[in-house]
Structure 1
Amino acid sequence: MRMKWRVHVENYGFLLPSFLLTAVLGIYPIFWAMRYMFYDYKGYGDMIYIGFDNFTRLWGDELFWEAVRNTIVYAGGKIAITIPLSLIIAVILDRGLKGRNFLRALYFMPTVISTAVIAVVFFIIFNSYNGLLNQFLLKNRLISGAIDWLGPDYAMLTVIILAVWGAIGNYMLLFLAGLQSIPGDLYESAEIDGASAIQKFWKITVPMLGPVMQMIIMLAITVSLKGYESIMVLTEGGPVGKTEVMYLYVYKLLFPVSTGSAMIQEIGYGSAVGFATAIIVGVITGFYFMLSRRLNKIY
């Protein structure tokens, strides 16, 4: 009994610092924000209790629902491109390719670079007037006029490209870990049976990566739905709200910027919007959990 008690004390002792950080920096701020959902409070002056008026306002807030639509488009585009591309790159780099360690480091490098720095670099590349991409296309006569990459028609595509470039390395590394856990005997047996490379990929690689892929998809969904930092630096949600996503909208309400859509600090309404945003992310995540259970039966 004493040995068991010591083991429990040691285990909980190791968990205690992490629990305290989670409680102070994660759990407490949630309850702190929830307190303001039912008040009209702008960061100064008195807090006025207004009941569910913030949620009534939220229901008719066109900017918020546009941000929801933009978030779904942004997350869907990022996931649809990033995961297949990361898997293909991981499969190629898992083979005996010359210089594969250098290529792995090269693809992983964007994940360790600051999001703000990446956004600034992409602004230099995709600038509509003197951006490097337009200069290259014009110089090689691939286009007749400069393309407004950060304009209403292409801004969402640009931020998705930025997100894909920044996420490929992380997911590629996870896929590589999964690929290296697949027994080589399976591929050797498939070769003896005359299976082609494509057949081995679909019949062995993809099914064996099922558990890893479920984790990667879960990670991609949550990160994509909550992502806003690169968009804030690159487009600030513009132009005319074309790249406004949910968490960027919440940020602007709680910490207004000079050129953003929310010019006045509204902590009460911002807390209500943040709560609704968390509910939406939770519903989408829960739907994926249901789908994931069916995938478990397949794999």
Structure 2
Amino acid sequence: MNKTKHALFSYSFIFPSALLTLVLGIYPIAWAFRYMFYDYKGFGTARFTGLANFSRILKDTQFWDSVVNTFVYAGGKLLITIPLALLLAVILNRGLRGRQLLRGIFFMPTVISTAVMAVVFFTIFNSYNGILNQFLIRLGLSDSGVDWLGPKYAMLTVILVAAWGAVGNYMLLFLAGLQNIPEDVYEASSLDGAGKIQQFRYVTLPMLGPVMQMVIMLAIITALKGYESIMVLTEGGPVGKTEVMFLYLYKLFFPVGGSSAAVQVQEFGYGSAVAFVSAVIVGMISLIYFYASRRMNQTD
């Protein structure tokens, strides 16, 4: 009897999280897996169409353009975020005055709502009366401002906003890794005549390898799935220049009004098929990275 009570007591702690996982995780996946073989608009009767949705994906230029935009967005974000986060971590790992305050400042964007952050940056980068354009005009650096959210600079703008929001999180992970490196290693390398640059290259980077692999993996997955700030800043426009994969998917389930919206009709069946293909793409990129990182570890 005591064992039964103990088991029930233990399962009572597991049950809430298991129920949430079932309702919010497993059930939606099973629902989407079923309807990706149907023509279903969210109302009326679902009509079984077999692989027609996947055949449509192969011909959907908007989706494949969004895939290309996703890789451009993710690549640009990684090229900015990872080196900058590592640089800030190295600087803040030194005995600087106020480093605790600086860590909090750099980490603050991570805890701010993505939607709120994007609204703030919209007021900064607004092409007509944005704060940045007003600043440039007053300095005489521009006559009429720059169209930051136009076809030429929109992707760069959303990448910079995304990098600003992510760099603090990865900085803390790098900082934790740096603080686990023994000081004796640096002292020994100094006795051998190694300078700061040589210590960073031959001591810091190799010993930071496991943390680096984890950070890059998290950054890749987050960048490939990111779309919230883009939805607020540009809605995927102009003319689809910033339409990323998961924003296109979001619009299939929740159509967004406006001239920049690529999708105007709610399509649950086709959206489920797009969700599956998008998940496969993200999974393939993750597997490629895992394979490459393992090969690098074996080589080392």
Per the alignment, do residues 78 and 11 of structure 1 end up closer, same or farther by CA in structure 2, a change over 3 Å counting?
farther
TM superposition shift of 1:24: 2.1
Paired residue for 1:134?
133
Per the alignment, do residues 153 and 227 of structure 1 end up closer, same or farther by CA in structure 2, a change over 3 Å counting?
same
State how 1:17-32 maps to structure 2 within 5 Å.
Answer: 17-32=16-31
Aligned CA-pair RMSD: 2.0
Q: Distance in 2 between matches of 1:31 and 1:101?
A: 46
Q: Distance in 1 between matches of 2:231 and 2:148?
A: 16
Paired residue for 2:98?
99
TM superposition shift of 1:116: 0.7
State how 1:1-299 maps to structure 2 within 5 Å.
Answer: 15-259=14-258, 260-298=261-299
Sequence identity of aligned pairs in percent? 64
| SS in structure 2 of the partner of residue 146 of structure 1 | coil
TM superposition shift of 1:18: 3.2
Instruction: State the AA in 1 paired with 2:291.
Output: M
| SS in structure 1 of the partner of residue 36 of structure 2 | helix
Per the alignment, do residues 265 and 287 of structure 1 end up closer, same or farther by CA in structure 2, a change over 3 Å counting?
same
TM superposition shift of 1:8: 9.0
Q: Distance in 1 between matches of 2:275 and 2:52?
A: 15
Instruction: State the AA in 2 paired with 1:237.
Output: G
| SS in structure 2 of the partner of residue 218 of structure 1 | helix
Instruction: State the AA in 2 paired with 1:48.
Output: R
Q: Distance in 2 between matches of 1:49 and 1:265?
A: 17
TM superposition shift of 1:296: 2.5
TM-score (norm 2): 0.94
Task: Find runs of 4+ consecutive structure 1 residues off by over 3 angstroms.
Answer: 5-20
Per the alignment, do residues 137 and 298 of structure 1 end up closer, same or farther by CA in structure 2, a change over 3 Å counting?
farther
Q: Distance in 1 between matches of 2:180 and 2:8?
A: 34
| SS in structure 2 of the partner of residue 118 of structure 1 | helix
Q: Distance in 1 between matches of 2:82 and 2:9?
A: 39
Per the alignment, do residues 128 and 38 of structure 1 end up closer, same or farther by CA in structure 2, a change over 3 Å counting?
same
TM-score (norm 1): 0.94
TM superposition shift of 1:298: 4.8
| SS in structure 1 of the partner of residue 94 of structure 2 | coil
Unmatched runs of 5 consecutive residues or more in structure 2: none
TM superposition shift of 1:165: 0.1
